[in-house]
Amino acid sequence: MAGVKNVKLQLRSMDVTSTHDSVNFCNNVGCGGVMMLSFTLVLGIFHVWIYGIYTEWFTQERHGVWIFMWFFSCHVGLVLYHSFTWRKRAKNANIPPKKPSTCLGKVRAFKHSFQVNGKWFLVYIFSCEVVETVNQIYNLISIYSCTLPPWIIFLLCMLLFLDQLYRLYFLRLRNSVFRRDALLLIDLFVDLLCMALPISFMFFGYGIPLTVAEILLITTAPSLFSISRLDEILEENVLRHQTIDR
């Protein structure tokens, strides 16, 4: 029995050593991770651009526009967090989670249940989509229908319709890692389009000014949900690469 235990300990130590040796930036983050980190920074700069426009390039103070600098800080913080914690997450990727015994551990376990590998992730992501859809319908009725031509409104309606159609199709399929990751990317793409298209048409196409309240209605929900999607995508990227390496 002692010999069997020694063999198991040796195998476990060899497994941990090989895991630590395979952990490096190129293997566990890769080009895809670098692109997503860079894209996150670009989104943060986009919010600084909006803040600059509404403050006459940082020379005036306007009520409510501080939130764009907060969004910028969130994007930069997300990049820094994943840039400094990818190694720890890669090393812990194949370690089974322990049952939490402290209040802080229970809070972390509860938070993890809503993350990309948690049991309530699909409930969370579909709940976010319901909120996003309601927000976009409200914007279509109260903002876009009064400022944009019918063909652009029709384009936005078709985008929302196709997004919901794919979601219904997704519910009929058996859940898998590939479909889950595809759903994350599509949600991120739709959130950004619903934010970028109206602003592009109004600012650059027709020169229509927007009040602070209107620009907040257009950008707040997509920005919040895109930060959440980027966090999940960056985490899943490291975990997937570590699993492939094993």
From CA 171, how far away is CA 145, in angstroms rounded? 31
The number of folded domains in the chain is 1
**Nearest in space to 198 (alpha carbons), one of 212, 229, 219:** 219
From CA 126, how far away is CA 97, in angstroms rounded? 26
Residue span of the structural domain in which 58 resides: 2-245
10 Å CB burial of residue 26 (0-12, 13-18, 19+) is exposed
Q: Is 112 helix (H, G, I), strand (E, B) or coil?
A: helix
Span 79-113, pLDDT tens digits: 999 888 878 777 776 666 666 667 766 666 666 77
Identify the residue with better confidence: 14 or 179: 179
Q: Is 58 helix (H, G, I), strand (E, B) or coil?
A: coil
What is the torsion angle, in degrees rounded to the nearest 10, for the CA atoms of residue 68, residue 70, residue 75 and residue 80? 150
Identify the residue with better confidence: 244 or 29: 29
Mean pLDDT to the nearest integer, 132-153: 86
- The residues, any chain, with a CB within 8 Å of residue 224's CB and separated by 6 or more, are none
What is the predicted pLDDT for the residue at 128?
A: 82
What's this model's pTM, rounded to 2 decimal places? 0.78
Asked if residue 203 has pLDDT above 60, the reply is yes
The answer to which of 79-83, 162-166, 213-217, 218-222 has the lowest mean pLDDT is: 162-166
User: pLDDT band for position 210 (50/70/90)?
Assistant: confident
Mean pLDDT to the nearest integer, 215-237: 87
Q: How many other CB atoms are found less than 10 A from the CB of residue 93?
A: 18
